Amino acid sequence: MNKSDFLSSLRKQLAGLSDEDAAKAVEYYSEMIDDRIESGMTEEEAVSDVGTPESAAKEILMDMPITKVVKAKIKKERKLSGGE
């Protein structure tokens, strides 16, 4: 898997978070991959070294305060009818 595929998949895994929180997490993993590439790894090795997008998303969500995750989920699920 290349960096672009990893980050795209990670963003999909974080769809329940706010755009800001998801962007911060994706940027963090992008920098982690870049650091490994600068250290001499190939792009594929660097991506493999940080794990799967699923495991990264799980780690991000576990580190996120539960109130933030719940609020983000509620906002995504609740649709206002506009008084109808």
At residue 69, the pLDDT reads: 54
Q: What is the pTM of this model?
A: 0.76
More confident residue, 42 or 72: 42
49 vs 10, 23, 36, 60, 63, CA distance in Å? 15, 21, 8, 17, 20
Q: Summarize the confidence of residues 22-41 as an average pLDDT.
A: 96
Q: Do 14 and 27 contact (CB within 8 A), yes or no?
A: no
At residue 5, the pLDDT reads: 97
Query: Is pLDDT at 25 greater than 70 in this prediction?
Result: yes
Query: Is pLDDT at 66 greater than 80 in this prediction?
Result: no
At residue 75, the pLDDT reads: 54
